[in-house]
Structure 1
């Protein structure tokens, strides 16, 4: 399929794991598409910003923290069909960066958005529903640590 025949959504996320191996997760409230679940700080890249600017902005909005980005950990994509409210099929491209908190305080700044709150969760204690991007990011992080 030619790129003019589908929509592309570019999104970027931060994987933030502290020294005690807790990961910073956000609670997606399901008000967009899909069910409520844990996710990573991040989201869609706006037209007038870089991918890196988007991750930093989204992390602040969704967690209250200022972050610094490190290397990209993973690039993941998937496709979906056209739907009544989206007349063309779409391709989602998601980039995950390793990031570190450098300021701010825990607390979602987003008002009326899709994130209700953020929370530090032990990597080994992840339970409940979670977006697949969490597993993609943690697999890449674990693979990097194993090297």
Structure 2
């Protein structure tokens, strides 16, 4: 299918791991379209003409309260489907390593799709609650970056 025949959503996410062997996750509340709530990574859609790194910094701050510096690309993931209108779409997701440089834990966005963020120990995986596919990818790459 030619790229003019579908829409693309570009999204970026941060993979943040601390010295206590925990990863920072966010709780996606399902949003206005009533999608399934569950765990995700701090991140989201890239605004038009926004640098990828700037989008990571913005999204992490909005969803977690932390300021970060962006590291290397760890992984990419995509899925495709159909919008409510029937038009095909592709969701392209990029996962970046990141390091906290300031701030404190607490979601600062209002009326958004993230209710809260939480540090989750590596030993808690797999989680019992619904978890986005990119979380498993992040867990694999965070503790096995050579994959």
Calculate the TM-score normalised by the size of structure 1: 0.92
**Alpha-carbon deviation of 1:81?**
2.2
Please report how far the alpha carbon of residue 32 of structure 1 lies from its aligned counterpart in structure 2 after TM superposition.
4.1
1:1-147 to 2 correspondence within 5 Å? 1-33=1-33, 34-84=35-85, 87-126=86-125, 127=127, 128-144=129-145
The 10-residue stretch of structure 1 (74-83 or 56-65) with the greater mean CA deviation from structure 2: 74-83
What secondary structure sits across from 1:108 in the alignment?
A: coil
Give yes or no for contact 1:83–1:89 (8 Å, CA) kept in 2.
Answer: no
Q: List runs of 5+ in structure 2 lacking aligned partners.
A: none
1:66 Cα offset (Å): 0.2
Q: In 2, Cα distance between the equivalents of 1:95 and 1:113?
A: 21
Could you tell which deviates more after superposition, 122-131 or 93-102? Answer: 122-131
Q: Distance in 2 between matches of 1:47 and 1:58?
A: 14
Partner Cα distance (2:138, 2:98) in 1: 12
Over 3 Å off, 4+ runs: none
TM score, norm. by length of structure 2: 0.92
Q: CA RMSD in A?
A: 1.4
Corresponding pairs, count: 144
Specify every segment of 5 or more residues in structure 1 that has no aligned partner in the other structure, as ranges: none
Is residue 17–residue 142 contact of structure 2 (8 Å, CA) maintained in 1?
no
How far apart in 1 are the matches of 2:144 and 2:6? 33
